[in-house]
Amino acid sequence: MTAYDRDNIFAKILAGTIPSVKLYEDEDTLAFMDVMPQAPGHLLVIPKAGSRNLLDADPAVLAKLLPVVQKLANAAKEAFEADGVYIAQFNEPAAGQTVFHLHFHVIPRHDGLPLKPHAGGMADVELLKAQAEKIRAAL
Ligand code: 5GP
């Protein structure tokens, strides 16, 4: 497998050299809004430890990550009064992965509302900040 690239965009978000709209942070994990949301409330949960994706991740890191995915999924569902939550995680380009630092997508879903395309248009940052406020309030 290709080695982890320490210059990937999420490593830069973790290092604070690229801005993000943050939702939650602890010793091991960061959650922030996706800049190209497929639905309102689309967020990403990443471990602070570097791995390219799920396939090369330390199982101990995964064990700490999934409870945070659950926490954010419940908060996003409540904040957007969603009917369900879509969790997605891609491994390697063939599977749709475009950023090579492990991440889980958390996307609130409403009955009958289709998802926008993956990595489509950029959202307005003020809108993302307002949505993040709602999710944080539900945490
Ligand atoms: P994947 O690697 O699973 O295909 O998706 C990467 C996700 O990261 C996409 O949904 C894309 O919109 C998001 N993304 C790409 N660059 C940035 C960025 O600079 N900031 C944030 N917050 N999200 C990003």
pLDDT at 91: 98
Average pLDDT for residues 14-34, to the nearest whole number?
98
Whether 119 is in the pocket of ligand 1, judged by its Cβ within 6 Å, is yes
- Which residues belong to the active site? 103
Rounded CA Rg of the chain: 14
Tell me, what's the pLDDT at 104?
A: 98
Q: Which fold has domain 9-138?
A: HIT family, subunit A (3.30.428)
Integer Cα distance of 49 and 51 in angstroms = 7
Confidence at 21, pLDDT banded by 50, 70, 90: very high
Instruction: Tell me which DSSP letter residue 40 carries.
Output: T
34 pocket-lining for ligand 1 (C-beta < 6 Å): yes
Whether residue 54 has its Cβ less than 6 Å from ligand 1: no
- Distance from Cα 124 to the centre of ligand 1, integer Å: 15
122, exposed or middle or buried, with CB in 10 Å at 0-12, 13-18, 19+? exposed
Tokens at 136, concatenated: 């944080």
Interatomic CA distance for residues 10 and 16, integer angstroms: 10
Portion of the chain with pLDDT greater than 70, in percent: 100
10 pLDDT band, cuts 50/70/90, is very high
Mean pLDDT rounded to a whole number for the chain? 97
| Residue-range domain boundaries for the chain | 9-138
Has residue 119 got a pLDDT over 90? no
Pick the residue whose CA is nearest to atom 19 on ligand 1. Answer: 9
Q: Which tens digit of pLDDT belongs to each residue from 34-82?
A: 999 999 999 999 999 999 999 999 999 999 999 999 999 999 999 999 9
Shortest-distance atom of ligand 1 to CA 99: 2
**How far does the centroid of ligand 1 lie from the alpha carbon of residue 36, in Å?**
7
Which of the four pLDDT bands, split at 50, 70 and 90, describes residue 1?
Answer: confident
Task: Identify the bridge partners of residue 68 per DSSP, sorted by sequence position.
Answer: none
Q: What's residue 133's pLDDT?
A: 98
